[in-house]
């Protein structure tokens, strides 16, 4: 379909995500390196921080989605979430312990938790069924293009401030935090001024915060998503794996930048393809790619191999992220979409905590347990992805 025919809300939300990811990616792509290189945090602590942050976001996604159904209002919950994330970023300029960084990260993820389900429901409410894949594909493409630009800015800053150093410096990270604040503020303004509500006024009926009223296909989808996510640990471990194999900070940033370019290029065509051949086929293909890539991370023996794998990893994201959200809208009624997106995002995020913690323990161990080494979390993730792909075939 012609993307120019998509409604205004889709373009406004896409622009907001584009600007927000310019802001976020230039700092959070380097977050694991900041924790490890500057603050001296272990991989188990990094996994704990990432897991707790995502768990917090997931709980809020569940309630904010339900609340948007109850109030029949998506826009202002979305604006509130983006605003909270923007306000939290400047505090990274003064944080000097991993505990302080955890608190800031939790605030940022709280903002994400408040905005995500209402935002996704706003996109779904603004288009008809034949446009869903295209709409979510465009949104993911804009989001990821912003991430690519943010990474490019970070790459330039790192190149200027510390050359080809093997570790990240505190000064470089704080410069990036300062730069990131402006696009984050603009993103909130664009959304507040440009988006329009598309639902009617609340009718007084309280939607149930429960799986009981949903189609059994949606419930089975959530079960499969949980299985997949158990093996889908934070991408921080991919960054740490690259550094483990000798990649410099600049090489890692170039790797992530290329990944985001692939992700952005693939997302929109993948969404439109899912409108034609079905969501399930596109998602299964993406999960198979994920399983192969994670197996490659487990077996990799050099930094250049990780670079190539990370590029292919962008194909997985492009195929699945927007398509999965379009599939959720396919399986639920319009009146349940906020709650459904809350449940979906909660399933992903709540499982992300044990997934990241398991990955950290498998890699480095905890207490008396010494762990199995850098390959272990990727072998586990590959196995879980292939199991989930087989189950999804039966949906």
Give the model's pLDDT for residue 166.
64
In 10 A of CB 102, how many CB atoms? 19
N-term to C-term CA, the chain: 27
pLDDT at 285: 95
Q: Which CATH class is domain 9-196+214-392?
A: mainly alpha
Q: How far apart are CA 274 and CA 281, in angstroms?
A: 8
Domain ranges of the chain: 9-196+214-392
Q: What are the per-10-residue average pLDDT scores of the chain (395 residues)?
A: 80 96 87 82 76 80 87 89 94 86 90 92 88 90 90 86 72 90 96 86 58 84 93 82 80 83 90 90 95 90 83 92 90 85 84 82 67 82 93 86
User: What integer pLDDT is reported at residue 367 of this predicted model?
Assistant: 55
The closest of 53, 42, 149 to 104, measured between CA atoms, is 53
The pTM of this model reads 0.77
Question: Phi, psi (5° rounding) for residue 369?
Answer: -85, 125
Structure tokens at 195: 């988006």
Q: Residue 366's beta-bridge partner residues? A: 369
The SS3 assignment for 144 reads: helix
How many whole angstroms separate alpha carbon 387 and alpha carbon 125? 32
CA atoms within 13 A on the CB side of 231: 24
d(CA 32, CA 17): 22
Closest by CA to 243, choosing from 288, 321, 199, 300, is 300
Angle, helices 216-230 vs 337-364, to 10°: value is 20
């Amino acid at each position: 379909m012609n993307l120019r025919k998509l409604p205004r809300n889709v373009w406004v939300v896409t622009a907001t995500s584009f600007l927000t990811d310019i802001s976020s990616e230039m700092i959070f792509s380097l977050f694991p390196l900041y924790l490890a290189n500057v603050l001296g945090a272990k991989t188990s602590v990094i996994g704990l921080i990432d897991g707790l942050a995502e768990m917090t976001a997931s709980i809020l996604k569940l309630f904010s989605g339900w609340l948007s159904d109850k109030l029949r209002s998506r826009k202002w919950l979305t604006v509130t979430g983006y605003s909270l994330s923007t306000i939290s970023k400047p505090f990274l300029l003064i944080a000097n312990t991993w505990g302080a960084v955890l608190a800031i990260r939790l605030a940022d993820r709280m903002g994400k938790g408040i905005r995500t389900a209402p935002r996704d429901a706003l996109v779904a409410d603004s288009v008809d069924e034949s446009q869903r894949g295209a709409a979510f594909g465009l949104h993911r493409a804009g989001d990821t293009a912003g991430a690519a630009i943010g990474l490019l800015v970070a790459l330039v800053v790192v190149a200027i401030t510390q050359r080809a150093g093997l570790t990240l410096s505190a000064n470089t990270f704080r410069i990036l935090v300062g730069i990131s604040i402006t696009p984050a503020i603009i993103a909130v303004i664009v959304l507040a001024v440009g988006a329009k509500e598309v639902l009617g006024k609340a009718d007084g009926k309280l939607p149930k915060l429960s799986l009981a009223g949903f189609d059994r296909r949606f419930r089975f989808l959530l079960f499969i998503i949980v299985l997949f996510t158990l093996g889908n640990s934070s991408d921080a471990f991919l960054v740490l794996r690259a550094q483990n194999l000798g990649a410099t900070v600049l090489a890692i940033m170039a790797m992530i930048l290329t990944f985001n370019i692939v992700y952005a290029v693939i997302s929109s065509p993948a969404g439109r393809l899912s409108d034609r051949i079905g969501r399930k086929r596109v998602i299964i293909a993406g999960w198979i790619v994920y399983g192969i890539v994670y197996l490659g991370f487990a077996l990799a023996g050099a930094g250049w191999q990780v670079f190539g794998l990370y590029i292919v990893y962008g194909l997985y994201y492009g195929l699945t992220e927007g398509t999965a959200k379009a599939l959720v809208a396919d399986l639920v009624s319009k009146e349940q979409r906020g709650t459904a997106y809350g449940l979906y995002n909660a399933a992903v995020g709540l499982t992300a905590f044990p997934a990241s913690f398991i990955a950290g323990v498998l890699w480095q161990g905890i207490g008396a347990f010494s762990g199995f080494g850098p390959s272990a979390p990727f072998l586990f993730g590959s196995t879980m992805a292939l199991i989930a792909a087989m189950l999804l075939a039966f949906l």
